[in-house]
Amino acid sequence: MHSELTCPSPRSGLKGLLDRFTGPGATQAELLIQFVPSLVALVAAPTYALTLPIQWTPLQLGLIALLAFDLMGGVLTNATSTAKGWYHRPEQGWQQHLGFVSVHVIHVLLVALLFRGGDWGFFIGVSSYLLGASVLILLSPLYLQRP
């Protein structure tokens, strides 16, 4: 089975920056689906954290908010047809895909440092799993990569 999606080129300026994250041509509905829950998570995650019997630092609370926004937004964005077309366009090879995933190792590093006291076993284990799973996905047929 072969799956082919097409998408327009990104616009210029700030709108082009948005296009590079969400995919050019994202509909208003797609943008709402991506950003409303992400903004809710940005507020809800640290708010919930404050109800726990833990003394969070402002840096930890900021990271909780940022990770909640980025993870929620990333999952929802990657589920849209527009983003699938953008991130799986012909010019995107395995290097670009693995590069995108590799940037997310920073999330794991920050969690290991700020929430787990520099737990290098956690960092190595989770990062290895993330990168290994990504390689397996990239080795699978395209129709399985983006059903």
- Residues 41-58 have pLDDT tens digits of 999 999 999 999 999 999
Q: Mean pLDDT over residues 60-66, rounded?
A: 99
DSSP state of 55: -
Residue 88: what residue type?
A: H
- Residues 72-81 have pLDDT tens digits of 999 999 999 9
Own/partner pairs, 54-63, CB within 8 angstroms, 24+ separation: 57/114, 59/114, 60/114, 60/115, 63/110, 63/111, 63/114, 63/115
Q: Identify whether the C-beta of residue 110 lies closer than 8 Å to the C-beta of residue 60.
A: no
DSSP state of 53: S
Q: Where are the domains positioned within the chain?
A: 27-87, 93-147
Residue 2 pLDDT level (bands cut at 50, 70, 90): very low
- Residues 119-138 have pLDDT tens digits of 999 999 999 999 999 999 99
